[in-house]
């Protein structure tokens, strides 16, 4: 019932409020309800959606691209095209740029975020995608690696399951779609809390977003985040951090972080990016009704 209600709510939204950025924690349901992928399809125009799939992060872009193409066709999109970008020159001119001008949604698949940024960063194609997203003309979704690239600062790699320390995380420049955040994915599934905390210590001005698998943080145009999916989204706000030993200890030494604000949000919850306040949903009521 929860998933059906979510789909109906998306489909009944006024057209002007549809476009959004969907940041997906990876391993989203591709077989059964496909709720997150359906939400992206709806946000891209539903039966009128023209979706561009960029599988460049993957080592098998043809296989991954074809799989998502079939999924979005099954979900009722009017047109779906795989933009199989394997060289930066393909982002300069040609059919791919022409399609970006007419599409209503762009989907970035999982894989290697460094590979994806290496192909797309500072290209006319990516600049135009970013511009159209900011203007509210198209929706953008990224899963796994496609989620990691959303901020200016990107978690490019690192370990998990340790105490926070500077050596735990590797940072690189992302694509700057949502510049005020730093995203980690497969979050609780791969025990990455310490990794996100380690990244935030170096950039306390950024909002840490940890997204579980089959879970999505929908960045709305009104400055709020909406949570959907089976897991949780963890938000770490370090803007009022009162102390860290980050500059005084070796890279592998444990980090102290004082006065962090941490929120764990589930389906139906939200977050106000302007006021930095969580928005309570109806998780308890829905759980009781199941």
Say how many Å lie between the first and final Cα of the chain, rounded.
8
138 CB-near residues (< 8 Å, 6+ apart)? 19, 44, 103, 104, 105, 106, 129, 132
Catalytic residue (one of 186, 188, 198, 205): 186
Structure tokens at 229: 């999916």
Catalytic residue (one of 44, 144, 198, 267): 144
- Tell me, yes or no, if 198 is annotated catalytic: no
Whether 267 and 285 have beta carbons less than 8 Å apart is answered as no
Long-range own/partner contacts, residues 100-103 (CB < 8 A, 24 or more apart):
100/52, 100/125, 100/128, 100/129, 100/132, 101/128, 102/50, 103/50, 103/51, 103/52, 103/79, 103/138
- Tell me, yes or no, if 186 is annotated catalytic: yes
- Tell me, yes or no, if 213 is annotated catalytic: yes
Residue 168's φ and ψ, nearest 5 degrees, are -75, -20
Catalytic residue (one of 35, 198, 213, 267): 213
Residues with catalytic function: 144, 186, 213
């Amino acid at each position: 019932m929860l998933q059906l209600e979510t789909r109906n709510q998306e489909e009944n939204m006024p057209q002007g409020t549809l476009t959004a950025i969907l940041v997906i924690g990876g391993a989203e349901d591709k077989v059964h309800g496909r709720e997150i992928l359906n939400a992206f399809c709806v946000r891209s125009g539903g039966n009128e959606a023209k979706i561009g799939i960029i599988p460049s992060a993957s080592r098998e872009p043809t296989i991954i691209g074809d799989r998502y193409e079939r999924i979005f066709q099954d979900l009722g999109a009017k047109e779906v095209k795989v933009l199989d970008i394997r060289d930066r020159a393909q982002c300069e001119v040609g059919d791919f740029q022409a399609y970006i001008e007419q599409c209503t949604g762009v989907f970035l698949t999982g894989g290697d975020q460094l590979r994806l940024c290496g192909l797309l960063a500072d290209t006319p194609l990516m600049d135009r995608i970013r511009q159209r997203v900011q203007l509210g003309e198209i929706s953008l979704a990224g899963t796994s690696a496609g989620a990691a690239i959303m901020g200016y600062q990107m978690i490019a790699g690192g370990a998990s399951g340790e105490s926070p320390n500077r050596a735990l995380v590797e940072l690189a420049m992302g694509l700057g779609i949502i510049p005020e955040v730093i995203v980690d994915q497969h979050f609780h599934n791969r025990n990455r809390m310490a990794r996100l905390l380690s990244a935030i210590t170096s950039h306390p001005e950024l909002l840490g977003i940890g997204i579980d698998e089959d879970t999505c943080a929908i960045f709305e145009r009104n400055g709020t985040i909406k949570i959907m999916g089976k897991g949780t989204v963890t938000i770490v706000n370090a803007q009022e951090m009162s102390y860290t030993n980050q500059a005084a200890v070796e890279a592998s030494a444990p980090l102290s972080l004082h006065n962090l604000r941490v929120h764990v949000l589930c389906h139906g919850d939200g977050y106000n990016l302007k006021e930095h306040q969580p928005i309570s949903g109806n998780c308890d009521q829905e759980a009781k009704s199941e």
